[in-house]
Structure 1
């Protein structure tokens, strides 16, 4: 998916100029699919007289692979999850900036400022945060859903009607949570059991799908869907009688971030865009569209009531949320092998 926005003529007309001119600059974004409202991109393009292009991806791993395969230098910013920011920094894919280069830097909420994956926010700003779990069609299943067994050892009536996210980090982390083993384990016996778990569970899964995770629940093609919290809320709003689960074993929490990429061809406009997203009204526009939660102070007056009060945005006390960890490279290759085997 690619979006191209050209607003130089419109912006100049709004300023009262009669002559035509090119946009003052460009901005190239690498972004998750269905995650930012078109109107917000339009607003930025018009305010700064910038030509904006955007390509999309459906997993952190797909984004990383594309950048390493030759896309570095093509994009100014990307939107990786927390653990992927750490991986990208370690591989030298990120540029740095000083806080004084962003006039809205102080709008970052304190809990999202000195984060482990980017201490002090040298290369990234918070975008949205949420959780990853699964949703169940309540017309099809009336029993207890707050257990990860729904994904990995489901009741017979759900077998063959399960969609899981096509994202290595999240799926294998959810499997580790189910087993009660550490993430990034290097214990060979634990890894053998992890491999067996997902291979056995695969027989119950109908599909791997990230970009279709919402649609298959809405259509009824899937009765269970591993899903991001905002996608679950959207599916409910589109008429799916689903409930988002908070399994007793635990679930995944995450923070997506806008990063400044190394060799960004339009660094100044990248920083303008990052600063633009730290405006409370603009951060709230993303939240209202994507139905997650911003890491920016002052958004509440701009939020829709339905978003503020959705069950996906208000987890109960008890179940524990876990961030996906970035594994050491010698351990990561073992998880890569499990994933490759699973996707055969």
Structure 2
């Protein structure tokens, strides 16, 4: 999930998918930065004789704004699950019926249906993960399975804490920390969460998508962060560990869909089917360091990733997972007011 956007264009020519005619042509993919393995696009491009262009974005809000504006030229987009309703309600996604695709049989039972696309009419899995906290244990050796890391920081971490600018995740975790439920419209609970966040901000260094170097160099020693990104950081500085707040952490899935105004629909469908093949899903996981939701992919994944601590939620904390959602408009508006005050 989602740092330092880059832009990549890949073209090649060769064979084709066994059950289809020569695909050829183009495919334009829109995805979060550092979230698409170049070798996956190269392999797809060679097998189908399709020129693939990848364009990156930083956040869901940026992506949907571009799609809403029209004239974007994209065919395939990666969308976080909680953002899917906004796309569907505005008619921005095609009903591509992935359940009818050959490789859908590999989708793990847990992900055959998701709350925001229960019949999988629009999407297939990309990767899934959690949003929790990452801490440098060389600096702080206490309990890290707590949202207090950023909401009531220990002295050792004050001034070196980052919060990724993910509004819903941050406010949801703050609400659960004070005993309230995500997406509430209870003004008293929201006021309490706002006050807590504003007080905590005095101990933060930034609200940002920071470069990994800031953690590697230990300029930052804690962050609200994503599981896969935390695994990457640990690979470069083994002092860092990932925690799941016992009061509540976020569980999410990012999904792949075809845009309703896609110009290269058949190539887009080929791509959706392609990434549900276990060996290709494994390629995505090996690059992003997130779980992928495809059965049989583990045998193709890097052994160290299969056993990575960031990707295995402790049994005793599984019930603390909060499914990432986009709140109803009234609650979302109240969230936005809090976030504006927090980030100005």
TM-score of the two chains, using structure 1 as the length reference: 0.91
How many residues are matched? Answer: 331
Which of 274, 283, 286 in structure 1 is aligned with 2:284?
286
Deviation at 1:330, TM superposition (A): 2.5
Distance 1:61 1:197, change over 3 A: farther
Render the CA deviation track for 1:247-305: whole Å, top value 9, x for unaligned.
22121111111111121121111111111101100001111111111111111211111
Query: Do the aligned partners of 1:27 and 1:51 also contact (CA within 8 Å) in 2?
Result: yes
Output the CA distance in 1 between the equivalents of 2:230 and 2:178: 24
1:35 aligns with 35
Report whether the alignment pairs 1:125 with 2:124: yes
Deviation at 1:28, TM superposition (A): 0.9
Output the CA distance in 2 between the equivalents of 1:52 and 1:222: 37
Deviation at 1:327, TM superposition (A): 1.2
2:9 aligns with 4
Distance 1:240 1:61, change over 3 A: farther
1:63 aligns with 63
Query: Do the aligned partners of 2:145 and 2:244 also contact (CA within 8 Å) in 1?
Result: yes
After TM superposition, the structure 1 = structure 2 runs for residues 208-219 of structure 1, keeping only pairs within 5 Å, are 208-210=207-209, 212=211, 214-219=212-217
SS state at 1:294 partner: coil
Query: Do the aligned partners of 1:25 and 1:51 also contact (CA within 8 Å) in 2?
Result: yes
Render the CA deviation track for 1:215-255: whole Å, top value 9, x for unaligned.
32212110102111111111111124111112221211111
Output the CA distance in 1 between the equivalents of 2:189 and 2:214: 33
Query: Do the aligned partners of 2:98 and 2:123 also contact (CA within 8 Å) in 1?
Result: no
After TM superposition, the structure 1 = structure 2 runs for residues 327-342 of structure 1, keeping only pairs within 5 Å, are 327-342=327-342
SS state at 1:125 partner: strand
1:161 aligns with 160
Distance 1:99 1:161, change over 3 A: closer
1:17 aligns with none
Output the CA distance in 1 between the equivalents of 2:86 and 2:341: 23
Deviation at 1:210, TM superposition (A): 2.4
Deviates more, 1:273-282 or 1:79-88: 79-88
Render the CA deviation track for 1:141-178: whole Å, top value 9, x for unaligned.
12222211111110122111001111212222222222
Deviation at 1:39, TM superposition (A): 0.8
1:326 aligns with 326
Deviates more, 1:266-275 or 1:201-210: 201-210
Deviation at 1:181, TM superposition (A): 1.1
Distance 1:197 1:103, change over 3 A: same
Output the CA distance in 2 between the equivalents of 1:74 and 1:48: 20
Query: Do the aligned partners of 2:175 and 2:190 also contact (CA within 8 Å) in 1?
Result: no
Report whether the alignment pairs 1:25 with 2:30: no
Output the CA distance in 2 between the equivalents of 1:172 and 1:215: 27
SS state at 2:190 partner: helix
Query: Do the aligned partners of 1:73 and 1:262 also contact (CA within 8 Å) in 2?
Result: no
1:105 aligns with 104
Render the CA deviation track for 1:183-235: whole Å, top value 9, x for unaligned.
111111122122212211211111122252x3322121101021111111111
Distance 1:79 1:137, change over 3 A: same
Output the CA distance in 2 between the equivalents of 1:73 and 1:263: 9
Output the CA distance in 1 between the equivalents of 2:141 and 2:71: 48
Which of 265, 270, 295 in structure 2 is aligned with 1:272?
270
Render the CA deviation track for 1:59-87: whole Å, top value 9, x for unaligned.
2223223323x256521111111111123
Output the CA distance in 2 between the equivalents of 1:272 and 1:183: 37
SS state at 1:170 partner: helix
Output the CA distance in 2 between the equivalents of 1:135 and 1:278: 30
Q: RMSD of aligned C-alpha atoms? A: 1.9
Output the CA distance in 2 between the equivalents of 1:201 and 1:333: 22
2:249 aligns with 251
